[in-house]
Amino acid sequence: MTPKLIDPFARAINYLRVSVTDRCDFRCVYCMAENMTFLPKKELLTLEELDRMCSTFIGLGVEKLRITGGEPLVRKGIMTFFQSMTRHLESGALKELTLTTNGSQLERYADDLYAAGVRRVNVSLDTLDEDKFARVTRWGRLPQVLRGIDAAQNAGLRVKINAVALKDFNEDELFALTQWCASRDMDLTFIEVMPMGDLGNEDRVGQYWSLKDVRKQLADHYTVTDLAERSGGPARYVRLEETKQKIGFITPLSHNFCESCNRVRMTCTGELYLCLGQEDMADLRPPLRDHPNDDAPLIEAIHKAIGIKPKGHDFDYSRQRADGQVSRHMSHTGG
């Protein structure tokens, strides 16, 4: 058997997040510049190449595959890729196939996703206020997203809401978001804003709302119970006893979660990033394309890349500046 993927710190890598496109129909202020220059289509891995790449990782022990973007569902023909991954779910090699989406295309694709074996989706939604939603997404339309969430739930998909905690933006919606998710039987995860991309006019330090404060506010209104369970990602969870819902916290700034990192991220061009908050990267496209009938060079390149996975990131706002910032936009690496 080919050896499984173990990094230099004895962490087993069994979770791959794959960006299938850098394009999106929104321009969220913490993710993209408004006037983005997107990659030429010839640089993107084809859907067949994405299949081969993901299948190779699954053969090396990856059990959870999350599809991201940009917005993954805007890529032409993307459902054929989801359908091709179904065989790994049926064989038992892949335990979970899921995606992170802005929700804009769920009304169209929810039933097809369920048929392909997807059972959970994460929907990024930072506000329930239509005007604020238009402002933070620049191009987004809240009613379209809400219809998508309805369609996903009607199709049988379990929906989790991801909300980026933004100071002076959605602080006043903490309890409204929580109650809305509870009323829809949806879990909710809060994420601290990260110093990624060309900040331009976006002040990451000014946007930063510590999830320590979020948790404290929740604890002032609810009975909060810590949960030991993990979903395979970086979130730590609590249960609100009054609503019985699960609340997650992804805290790269206020609480570094790197010691248990089990994941790597691949871009739509085949660049493998070993850490969201570091520039370490291995380009897997050459061994993929240069050896179309031989996976051995690709497998060797993957093992070599895992061998340089860093211990953790260096994100830090404590000195009132965005230390540890990385140059690429979140949309480039994949949500």
Binding residues for [4Fe-4S] cluster: 24, 28, 31, 258, 261, 275
- Contact yes or no for 29/138 (Cβ under 8 A): yes
| Distance from C-alpha of 209 to C-alpha of 174, rounded to nearest angstrom | 12
Task: Point out the annotated binding site for S-adenosyl-L-methionine.
Answer: 30, 70, 124, 194
Helix (H, G, I), strand (E, B) or coil at 69: coil
Provide the terminal-to-terminal Cα distance of the chain, rounded to the nearest Å.
Answer: 32
The 10 Å Cβ neighbour count of residue 286 is 12
DSSP secondary structure of 256-320: --GGG--EEEE-TTSEEES-TTS--EEE-HHHHHH-TT--HHHHHHHHHHHTT--S----B-TTS
Q: At what angle do helices 106-115 and 142-155 cross, to 10 degrees?
A: 20
Closest CA to 247 of 218, 213, 210, 280: 218
| Distance from C-alpha of 126 to C-alpha of 165, rounded to nearest angstrom | 7
**Buried b or exposed e, range 203-213, using 16+ CB within 10 angstroms:** ebeebbbbbee
Task: Point out the annotated binding site for GTP.
Answer: 17, 66, 100, 160, 263-265
Closest CA to 97 of 17, 13, 190, 5: 17
| Distance from C-alpha of 51 to C-alpha of 235, rounded to nearest angstrom | 28
Closest CA to 62 of 97, 86, 90, 87: 97
Residues 6 or more apart whose CB falls under 8 angstroms from that of 150 comprise 107
**Degrees, nearest 5: CA angle 7-10-15:** 55
Task: Point out the annotated binding site.
Answer: 17, 24, 28, 30-31, 66, 70, 100, 124, 160, 194, 258, 261, 263-265, 275
